[in-house]
Structure 1
Amino acid sequence: MSGIVFFRTERHDSVVEFYTETVGAEVWLEQPDCTVLKHGNMLFGFCDRDATDDCGILTFVYDSRAEVDEMHATVGDAAREEPHENERYDIYQFFADDPDGRTVEFQAFLHPVDL
């Protein structure tokens, strides 16, 4: 079984470009006004609408701190903060904003987790 999380967006093309060109997601399915993306085992879609869903957080999980640091450099000015350890959740992380202002998190678990 699998699932897809969909978001309404007023900036379809720039949002899809951010997730494909910057984050490294792949287009999984094109529909008339929706694009479904795939990043690892995560499927998420953006549908061109008159309003934007900006609730929730899209979290991308990496295997190492180095990969999180690399993503921090890649997202550039979209990053809200420097990567740092979050002891409460045992992760290394930072938050950024996508072109719609949606919260995006990049993280690595500090201790191996079977995903």
Structure 2
Amino acid sequence: MKINGVIFFLGCHSLEKINEFYQGFLGLELFRDQRNCRIYSVPSGGMIGFCEHLPVEAGTLSPIMTFLTEFVDDFHEKAIKLGMAPDRPSINEKFGIYHFFLKDPEGYRVEIQKFLD
């Protein structure tokens, strides 16, 4: 007996806006479109799903979805060009990371990050 995968589900108001952000901006692959839910594959494993029938509980400090990349600055520039309002990229010495935060169309906190070691 073993676990074969994981999907993290969040509520949303607009699957189209979610798709623009997660597939269009982040480049995640759409794994399954279930009409009122969409599930995206995350490279290196796992999936994230958004459903219009689930409540949206954004605007707090958690949850945070962190996406790992070596191209933090490129994603930051892309976010600005698309009219998003990302935080300025910075080094967090406590955790040994280079990162920035922005919000997705539903207000969930998204972190774009790379490990420095």
TM-score by length of 1: 0.86
Write out aligned runs for 1:1-115 (5 A): 1-40=4-43, 41-49=45-53, 51-54=55-58, 55-62=62-69, 64=70, 67-76=71-80, 77-111=83-117
Moved over 3 A (4+): none
Please tell me the root mean square deviation across aligned C-alpha atoms, in Å. 1.5
State the SS of the aligned residue for 2:65.
strand
User: Which letter maps to 1:68?
Assistant: V
Ranges in structure 1 where 5+ consecutive residues have no aligned partner: none
1:34-71 per-residue CA deviation (whole Å, 9 max, x = no partner) reads 00001202300000137313240111011x2xx00001
Q: Specify which structure has the higher proportion of helix.
A: 1
- Give aligned-pair identity as a percent: 31
Q: Which has the higher strand share?
A: 1
Gaps of at least 5 residues in structure 2 are none
Q: How many aligned residue pairs are there?
A: 108
Report the TM-score when normalising by structure 2: 0.85
Preserved CA contact (<8 Å) 1:34 1:46: yes
Counterpart contact for 2:11–2:53, Cα < 8 Å: yes
SS in 2 for 1:51: coil
8 Å CA contact 1:16, 1:46 repeated in 2: no
Q: 2:64 corresponds to which letter in structure 1? A: I
